[in-house]
Amino acid sequence: MDFLYRRSYRGPIKAAILDWAGTAVDYGSFAPTAVFLRLFKSQGVRITDEDARSGMGLMKKDHLRTILSRPPVAEAWKSAHGALYSEADVNDLFENFVPLQLAVLTEYATPIPGLLEVVKDLRARSIQIGSTTGYLRSMMAVLAPKAKENGYEPDCIICPDEVPDGRPYPWMCYRNAIQLGVFPMQAMLKVGDTFVDIEEGLNAGMWTVGLSQTGNLLGLSEAEVQALAPDERKTENQRIASQLYKAGAHYVIEGIWDLPVVLNEITARLAHGEQP
């Protein structure tokens, strides 16, 4: 009789890799949205909030390509510029985008409610905190110090211009694992508010946790969320949770404040030999 040897990790979670905008800071993920709206308006092309949010989570040049590829935007660009967009247009837009984004990032560095308490919980469990983002290193050089002033400082920050490709590729997660000295990947979880966050975590072999209320998919400020009727808020959270589960998320929570409950469940599943 032949036997197959199969290893099964049964240890604890060792690291949590958090997204930035819409997950840890910037409730509603407004910093990139506002800049994209302004950028396209300067080019004579009006885009909607939905257009601006369509590529959220991607490296910002890829985000621009995603916006420009949307049929209404492509047609509006052709009407304004006489031809469909080219890669040269993407490069020009990106060059204009970077200083605009840098100029406003400190305004969107407020920690999302519950984040600082969750950080304390993670520290108490000896869980390291890493991060991935769609922002370039130059942008994080502005955002991270302001977030630190506000009480949030992860152990590791990896940006898409420091790896071969950004999301949904797993390279930023792998760099976090190397820098934090954590293995196996099953001992890590990825938390984010976009589909590419979930895909990034899955591609890296990690547990994935989506956020339904504080991020890009809902796209509302904290005050706007609080102004919703309870039934409407519940319906919106369920709608977005369904989308994130379809994208492959292992868990979906409203906001970062609920992460400890998920950690308890994943820890129990690992102890029984379950894998992501």
Q: What pLDDT digit, counting tens, does each position of 211-238 carry?
A: 999 999 999 999 999 999 999 999 999 9
Give yes or no for residue 66 having a pLDDT over 70: yes
Note the pLDDT of residue 1.
54
Nearest 5°: the CA angle 263, 132, 211 is 50
**Residue 193 designated active-site:** no
Burial class (CB in 10 A: 0-12, 13-18, 19+), 231: exposed
d(CA 200, CA 194): 10
Give yes or no for residue 4 having a pLDDT over 90: no
Note the pLDDT of residue 108.
94
Residue 261: pLDDT band (50, 70, 90) is very high
N- to C-terminal Cα separation, the chain: 30
d(CA 226, CA 233): 8
Catalytic hit among 60, 62, 197, 258: 60
pLDDT tens sequence across 79-127: 999 999 999 999 999 999 999 999 999 999 999 999 999 999 999 999 9
In the chain, the percentage of residues whose pLDDT exceeds 70 is 100
Whole-number average pLDDT of the chain: 94
Query: 114: which strand partners?
Result: none
Nearest 5°: the CA angle 81, 86, 89 is 70
Burial class (CB in 10 A: 0-12, 13-18, 19+), 137: middle
Domains and CATH numbers, the chain: 15-29+109-271 (3.40.50.1000), 31-106 (1.10.150.240)
Q: What would the mean pLDDT of 121-140 be, rounded to a whole number?
A: 97
**Residue 197 designated active-site:** no
Kindly report which listed range (53-62, 106-115, 260-269) carries the lowest average pLDDT score: 53-62
Give yes or no for residue 72 having a pLDDT over 60: yes
Catalytic hit among 19, 26, 51, 193: 19
Q: Which residue has the higher pLDDT, 125 or 8?
A: 125
Q: What would the mean pLDDT of 45-49 be, rounded to a whole number?
A: 91
Note the pLDDT of residue 115.
98
pTM over 0.85: yes
d(CA 60, CA 55): 8
Note the pLDDT of residue 55.
84
d(CA 4, CA 2): 7
Residue 59: pLDDT band (50, 70, 90) is confident
pLDDT tens sequence across 172-199: 999 999 999 999 999 999 999 999 999 9
Q: CA nearest 54: which of 38, 32, 76, 39?
A: 32
